[in-house]
Structures are given as C-alpha cells and as structure tokens.
Chain A
Amino acid sequence: MACPHLDYRDSDGERQFDTARAFCTVTEEFVQPVHADICTERYGLDPEADCEVYRAEAGLDWDE
C-alpha cells in the first residue's frame, strides 16, 4: 500500500533521474528518503496516522 498522494516521477523539470523518485502531489515536492518510509507505509508507518502533510490536507487535528 502507499499514500494516495504519492507519485513517482523521474524528472524535476531540470534533472532526469534514472529511477523515478517519491513525489508528494500535495506539497508538489520530492519526498526525503527518510520520509518516504511513511509514504510507502513501510515498517508499519501510516500516512493518515504519521504524516503531517496528509493530516493537514485531510483537515485532521493531531488529537483526533
């Protein structure tokens, strides 16, 4: 599973990457590798529970 906002892109407009990289369609930015563990739901991480961007986009408060 992966976050619905996760996309993989092989270019940032200027540079071309050999392998497509994690891109967040909410922030319109490439995701840090360490954060991509959340985007990909790796190691039990979960975008709805753990990602600031996902929760802000969904209008969720941290105490919900």
Chain B
Amino acid sequence: MTYDEYLDGKPVVVTAALTGGIQGKEAHPDLPETPDEIAAAAAAVEAAGAAVVHLHARRDNGERAFSTERFQAVTDAVRDATDDVIVQHSTGGTAAPDALRAEPLRTDPAPEMASLDMGPMNRGRRLTSENTRDTIDGLHAEMRERGIKPELEVFNNGHLNESFRILDDLADPPYLNLIFGPGTLAPPSPANLQRMVDQLPERAEFNVIGFGPHQLPLTTQSLLLGGHVRVGLEDNSYLRKGELATNEALVERTVRIAEELGRPVASPAEARDLLGVESRR
C-alpha cells in the first residue's frame, strides 16, 4: 500500500470490469451483455493477466438485472469458461430496492468477492444510487455470513469515513476501491489519488478506478503507489482517443505497464492470498 511496496515489486491484482450496468451496445457495439458474451470476455482477460472479474448481469434486452437467477447464468458461464479467475459480483444499483441488491450474493456457489458501495452517487438529474447506511450494513452482513470478501467502493472522500466506520468488522486486509471521475465521484487528479491513499489505514489494500480518459493515468499511478488496478469496458470504452477498446486490450496494456514498472502481475491464487479471498474453485 506504499511506494516502498512498489520498490519491493509487490504483485499487482488486476481486476477487469467487463460489462457494468450503465451503458450497453448503444455506446459500444461489442460490450458483452449475454452470459456467453461475458464468459468469452472473462476467458480473454484471464489469459491476458486479470486475476478478478467484476460481473454485472443483464436482461435479454441489455437492461440491468439483479436477480440471483440472472447472476447465476452469468457466473456459471464465466466459471465454465475460465480456469481460476476470482469471481466478483456487483451489488451496486441506481434506485434498485435493497432486497434486489442482495440477490447477486445468493448464487451457488457464492461469489468469492462482491462490491459494497459506501455511499450515494448521482446520475443525471434525478437518478441516485442511495446506498444508505442501512443498505451498506445489510449487504455487508450477508457478505460476512456467506464468506464473501467485500470490495468497498469509495466514490469520494466522504466515503472513506463510511469505510472507517465498518473497519473493525472487516477481515484483514480491508480492501478499498478508490474511484475517480465526474459528478459525485472524487475529482480525478494525481493529487487527489495521493491524498486518498495517504488517509488509508496501514493494513488496507487499495485498488484504483479512473473513469474514461482517467483510467490509464490513475491506474498507472496506483501501480507506483503499491496499489491494485481495475480496468475494463464498464469504466472506459476507449483504448485511446477515437479508438474503441476491448476488455482484453485494456488488461493487456495494464499488464505491459505493470511489468515494465517492475510490478509482477498476481495470478488468481496469489490474489486470493494477498486479499484474503476464500477460494470457491
């Protein structure tokens, strides 16, 4: 979690966010949506060096789905298509009621990891992902019960406070995901990323997401600070200006940069050890 760890060549965990729930094929013609498409993308990013896949589920028409049934279809397809990659389910969702938000945790087997949003995030004029304390605590309790490693989604500085609130209830190491972008996300800048990292407890591991054009610079900065990285089409559609990306190409680029900088890329087994994730393979 420090520059010293970068100097020591600490392995980096690469997470690929393949799909998301925000945009669909209207934004990127090859964004994977069906279980088969998501599974093919998962196999490709695992081969490219991703240790974790962050999964959302969709309805047949591309709209978001939260049901255990839809997540089961995605997770079965992904587990069949991959060797050892860690499966992480999203529990995030604009306006979706709490009962639905817990459904992605109830697949069989349970996901090894799941995202846990640490507070509100706005979209558009009236769309809000509320993420009340009640929602956070309810989802967290269910994750603990099912042995699922939570990945705390910190959309801005205030969400660090919420993370610290539950710090004592988290198994070591606490794993915080620092997210930078527009709107109610933390303003994307190297200084803001450094400041967030400076405030983390020593025993925490952190991961960085930069939306859109901030994906490349801020994940690279995370490599230098001993952090982990998430890339993928959920967060960024382009490899460079005007050139649509694939999930695989985004992971390949991250792996190239990490290795060039002296950070070996963690295998799924190494990532489980580093992050304290229970294997379900």
Contacts and interface: CB of A to CB of B under 8 A. Distances in A.
The DSSP consensus for interface residues of chain A is mixed
B64 A33 contact: yes
B95 A43 contact: yes
Given A34-B64, A37-B64, A21 B26 contact: yes
B23 A50 contact: no
Interface in B108-143: 123-127
A44 to B, nearest CB: 7
Contact of B125 (A36, A37, A50): A50
Interface stretch (B54-62, B159-167, B253-261): B54-62
A8 B61 contact: yes
Contacts of A29: 26
A33 B21 contact: yes
Contact of A32 (B27, B96, B126): B27
Question: What is the interface residue range for chain B against chain A?
Answer: 20 to 34
Interface in A23-64: 29-38, 40, 42-45, 49-52, 62
A19 B97 CA distance: 26
Contacts of B124: 35, 52
Contact of B22 (A15, A19, A34): A34
A20 B95 contact: no
A33 B64 CA distance: 6
A8 B62 CA distance: 12
Contacts, number: 73
B93 to A, nearest CB: 9
B22 A33 contact: yes
Contacts of A50: 125-127
Nearest to A38: B127
Nearest to A20: B61
Nearest to B29: A15
Contact of A49 (B23, B29, B126): B126
Q: Indicate the member of A31, A32, A45 with the most B CB atoms within 10 Å.
A: A32
B29 A32 contact: no
B94 interface: yes
A6 B127 CA distance: 18
Interface in B1-39: 21-27, 29
Contacts of B126: 38, 45, 49-51
Contact of B25 (A21, A34, A38, A40): A21
A49 to B, nearest CB: 7
Contacts of B23: 32-34
Contacts of A33: 21-24, 58, 62-64
Contacts of A32: 22-24, 26-27
Contacts of A37: 63-64, 94-96, 127
B94 A18 contact: no
Contacts of B24: 21, 30, 32-33
A34 B25 CA distance: 12
List 4 A-B pairs, minimum CB-CB distance, nearest first.
Answer: A30-B26, A50-B126, A43-B95, A19-B60
Given A8-B61, A20-B61, 7 more contacts: A19-B60, A33-B22, A35-B127, A37-B63, A43-B97, A45-B126, A49-B126
